[in-house]
Amino acid sequence: MNTNPESFRNAAMAHGLSEAELEPDPLRQFQRWFAEAIAQDLPEPNAMSLATVDAAGQPSLRTVLLKLYDHQGFVFFTNYESRKSKEIETNPRVALLLPWVALARQVKIVGRAHRISAAESFKYFATRPRGSQIGAWASPQSQVITSRSLLEQKVAEMQRRFADGEIPLPDYWGGYRVEPTEIEFWQGRASRLHDRFRYRRAVAEEWVVERLAP
Protein backbone atom coordinates (compact mmCIF):
# COMPACT_ATOMS: atom_id res chain seq x y z
CA MET A 1 0.00 0.00 0.00
CA ASN A 2 1.39 3.41 -1.00
CA THR A 3 0.86 5.79 1.93
CA ASN A 4 2.74 8.74 0.50
CA PRO A 5 0.13 11.50 0.14
CA GLU A 6 2.53 13.81 -1.72
CA SER A 7 3.26 11.17 -4.33
CA PHE A 8 -0.45 10.36 -4.65
CA ARG A 9 -1.27 14.08 -4.95
CA ASN A 10 1.26 14.64 -7.73
CA ALA A 11 0.04 11.61 -9.66
CA ALA A 12 -3.63 12.56 -9.23
CA MET A 13 -2.99 16.14 -10.35
CA ALA A 14 -1.08 14.95 -13.41
CA HIS A 15 -3.74 12.39 -14.34
CA GLY A 16 -6.74 14.58 -13.64
CA LEU A 17 -10.35 13.45 -13.70
CA SER A 18 -12.39 12.71 -16.82
CA GLU A 19 -16.07 11.97 -17.22
CA ALA A 20 -15.23 8.66 -18.89
CA GLU A 21 -13.68 7.30 -15.68
CA LEU A 22 -16.44 8.50 -13.36
CA GLU A 23 -18.80 5.98 -11.82
CA PRO A 24 -22.40 6.51 -13.00
CA ASP A 25 -23.51 6.41 -9.35
CA PRO A 26 -22.03 9.21 -7.20
CA LEU A 27 -22.04 6.98 -4.12
CA ARG A 28 -19.73 4.51 -5.83
CA GLN A 29 -17.51 7.39 -6.92
CA PHE A 30 -17.47 8.62 -3.32
CA GLN A 31 -16.63 5.13 -2.06
CA ARG A 32 -13.64 5.00 -4.41
CA TRP A 33 -12.27 8.39 -3.39
CA PHE A 34 -12.97 7.83 0.30
CA ALA A 35 -11.14 4.50 0.21
CA GLU A 36 -8.17 6.19 -1.46
CA ALA A 37 -8.12 8.93 1.19
CA ILE A 38 -8.14 6.29 3.93
CA ALA A 39 -5.39 4.31 2.17
CA GLN A 40 -3.16 7.39 2.19
CA ASP A 41 -3.40 7.42 5.99
CA LEU A 42 -4.71 10.98 6.18
CA PRO A 43 -5.63 12.20 9.68
CA GLU A 44 -9.40 11.86 10.05
CA PRO A 45 -10.31 11.50 6.36
CA ASN A 46 -13.97 11.46 7.46
CA ALA A 47 -13.78 15.02 8.82
CA MET A 48 -16.17 17.29 6.94
CA SER A 49 -17.35 20.87 7.20
CA LEU A 50 -21.07 21.30 7.78
CA ALA A 51 -22.73 24.57 6.74
CA THR A 52 -26.14 25.54 8.12
CA VAL A 53 -28.21 28.73 8.06
CA ASP A 54 -30.27 30.21 10.90
CA ALA A 55 -33.71 31.81 10.68
CA ALA A 56 -32.18 35.23 10.00
CA GLY A 57 -30.12 33.91 7.08
CA GLN A 58 -26.80 33.90 8.97
CA PRO A 59 -24.66 30.94 7.89
CA SER A 60 -22.46 29.05 10.32
CA LEU A 61 -19.82 26.39 9.80
CA ARG A 62 -18.18 23.66 11.86
CA THR A 63 -16.40 20.34 11.44
CA VAL A 64 -18.24 17.07 12.07
CA LEU A 65 -17.31 13.45 11.36
CA LEU A 66 -18.89 11.30 8.69
CA LYS A 67 -19.83 8.07 10.45
CA LEU A 68 -22.12 6.28 8.00
CA TYR A 69 -23.06 6.63 4.35
CA ASP A 70 -25.17 4.71 1.88
CA HIS A 71 -27.55 5.40 -1.00
CA GLN A 72 -29.86 7.24 1.39
CA GLY A 73 -27.23 9.80 2.36
CA PHE A 74 -24.40 10.83 4.65
CA VAL A 75 -24.75 10.54 8.45
CA PHE A 76 -23.17 12.48 11.30
CA PHE A 77 -24.06 12.55 15.00
CA THR A 78 -24.59 15.43 17.39
CA ASN A 79 -26.51 16.88 20.31
CA TYR A 80 -30.03 17.75 19.13
CA GLU A 81 -29.97 20.85 21.34
CA SER A 82 -26.80 22.24 19.72
CA ARG A 83 -26.71 25.27 17.46
CA LYS A 84 -26.32 23.17 14.34
CA SER A 85 -29.39 21.11 15.23
CA LYS A 86 -31.54 24.14 15.95
CA GLU A 87 -30.55 25.62 12.60
CA ILE A 88 -31.25 22.36 10.79
CA GLU A 89 -34.68 22.14 12.38
CA THR A 90 -35.38 25.67 11.11
CA ASN A 91 -33.86 25.15 7.67
CA PRO A 92 -32.88 21.58 6.68
CA ARG A 93 -30.93 22.74 3.61
CA VAL A 94 -27.24 22.12 4.36
CA ALA A 95 -23.89 21.66 2.66
CA LEU A 96 -20.99 19.34 3.46
CA LEU A 97 -17.37 19.53 2.37
CA LEU A 98 -14.72 16.83 2.73
CA PRO A 99 -11.42 18.68 2.14
CA TRP A 100 -8.69 16.19 1.31
CA VAL A 101 -6.20 19.01 0.74
CA ALA A 102 -3.15 16.73 0.97
CA LEU A 103 -4.49 14.83 -2.05
CA ALA A 104 -5.61 17.92 -4.00
CA ARG A 105 -9.17 16.63 -3.79
CA GLN A 106 -12.44 17.65 -2.23
CA VAL A 107 -16.03 16.47 -2.28
CA LYS A 108 -18.94 18.88 -1.84
CA ILE A 109 -22.40 17.63 -0.94
CA VAL A 110 -25.59 19.72 -1.01
CA GLY A 111 -28.87 18.38 0.31
CA ARG A 112 -31.42 18.24 3.08
CA ALA A 113 -30.77 16.92 6.58
CA HIS A 114 -33.22 15.01 8.73
CA ARG A 115 -32.98 13.02 11.93
CA ILE A 116 -32.38 9.31 11.69
CA SER A 117 -34.36 6.91 13.86
CA ALA A 118 -33.61 6.44 17.55
CA ALA A 119 -32.84 2.79 16.80
CA GLU A 120 -30.16 3.80 14.26
CA SER A 121 -28.72 6.34 16.69
CA PHE A 122 -28.61 3.80 19.51
CA LYS A 123 -26.88 1.25 17.30
CA TYR A 124 -24.08 3.71 16.65
CA PHE A 125 -24.01 5.12 20.20
CA ALA A 126 -23.39 1.63 21.58
CA THR A 127 -20.17 1.40 19.54
CA ARG A 128 -18.71 4.66 20.89
CA PRO A 129 -15.93 4.58 23.50
CA ARG A 130 -17.30 4.88 27.02
CA GLY A 131 -15.65 8.27 27.45
CA SER A 132 -17.47 9.61 24.39
CA GLN A 133 -20.76 8.23 25.70
CA ILE A 134 -20.16 10.01 29.01
CA GLY A 135 -19.29 13.18 27.12
CA ALA A 136 -22.62 13.11 25.29
CA TRP A 137 -24.39 13.13 28.66
CA ALA A 138 -22.10 15.72 30.26
CA SER A 139 -21.83 18.44 27.62
CA PRO A 140 -24.62 20.97 27.00
CA GLN A 141 -23.30 21.48 23.49
CA SER A 142 -23.18 25.06 22.16
CA GLN A 143 -24.39 26.54 25.45
CA VAL A 144 -22.31 29.08 27.36
CA ILE A 145 -20.41 27.63 30.33
CA THR A 146 -18.37 29.63 32.83
CA SER A 147 -15.41 27.27 33.19
CA ARG A 148 -13.99 23.92 32.13
CA SER A 149 -14.11 22.76 35.75
CA LEU A 150 -17.91 22.77 35.61
CA LEU A 151 -17.76 20.50 32.57
CA GLU A 152 -15.33 18.20 34.35
CA GLN A 153 -17.62 18.09 37.39
CA LYS A 154 -20.49 17.05 35.12
CA VAL A 155 -18.33 14.33 33.60
CA ALA A 156 -17.50 13.03 37.10
CA GLU A 157 -21.20 13.09 37.99
CA MET A 158 -22.10 11.04 34.90
CA GLN A 159 -19.28 8.59 35.63
CA ARG A 160 -20.75 7.99 39.07
CA ARG A 161 -24.28 7.77 37.70
CA PHE A 162 -23.41 5.10 35.14
CA ALA A 163 -20.62 3.38 37.04
CA ASP A 164 -22.28 -0.02 37.20
CA GLY A 165 -23.87 -0.52 33.82
CA GLU A 166 -24.36 0.35 30.19
CA ILE A 167 -24.80 3.98 29.29
CA PRO A 168 -28.17 4.67 27.62
CA LEU A 169 -28.69 6.89 24.60
CA PRO A 170 -29.57 10.44 25.67
CA ASP A 171 -32.93 11.47 24.24
CA TYR A 172 -31.32 14.69 22.96
CA TRP A 173 -28.50 12.99 21.04
CA GLY A 174 -28.51 11.24 17.68
CA GLY A 175 -27.80 11.35 14.00
CA TYR A 176 -28.73 13.39 10.97
CA ARG A 177 -28.74 12.01 7.47
CA VAL A 178 -28.01 14.43 4.64
CA GLU A 179 -29.89 13.29 1.55
CA PRO A 180 -27.91 14.71 -1.37
CA THR A 181 -29.33 16.64 -4.29
CA GLU A 182 -25.84 17.52 -5.60
CA ILE A 183 -22.42 15.91 -5.15
CA GLU A 184 -19.34 17.53 -6.67
CA PHE A 185 -15.95 15.88 -7.08
CA TRP A 186 -13.06 18.34 -7.35
CA GLN A 187 -9.65 17.24 -8.55
CA GLY A 188 -6.84 19.78 -8.39
CA ARG A 189 -4.82 20.39 -11.55
CA ALA A 190 -1.87 22.56 -12.50
CA SER A 191 -2.36 26.28 -13.19
CA ARG A 192 -5.64 26.21 -11.23
CA LEU A 193 -7.32 24.49 -14.18
CA HIS A 194 -9.02 21.98 -11.92
CA ASP A 195 -11.36 19.18 -12.96
CA ARG A 196 -14.81 19.51 -11.41
CA PHE A 197 -17.75 17.19 -11.95
CA ARG A 198 -21.16 17.67 -10.38
CA TYR A 199 -23.76 14.95 -10.04
CA ARG A 200 -27.17 16.62 -9.92
CA ARG A 201 -30.30 14.68 -9.05
CA ALA A 202 -32.81 15.03 -11.85
CA VAL A 203 -35.84 12.79 -11.31
CA ALA A 204 -36.31 9.82 -9.00
CA GLU A 205 -32.93 8.12 -8.59
CA GLU A 206 -31.40 9.46 -11.80
CA TRP A 207 -28.30 11.64 -11.73
CA VAL A 208 -27.08 14.11 -14.33
CA VAL A 209 -23.29 14.56 -14.55
CA GLU A 210 -21.96 17.99 -15.52
CA ARG A 211 -18.44 19.33 -15.87
CA LEU A 212 -17.95 22.70 -14.16
CA ALA A 213 -15.39 25.33 -15.04
CA PRO A 214 -12.65 25.65 -12.41
Q: Which residues are catalytic?
A: 192
Letter for the amino acid at 58?
A: Q
CA distances from 139 to 73, 83, 121 (A): 27, 13, 18
* Nearest to 156, CA basis, from 174, 140, 134: 134
CA distances from 45 to 10, 71, 123, 170 (A): 18, 20, 22, 27
What is d(CA 77, CA 64) in angstroms, rounded to the nearest whole number? Answer: 8
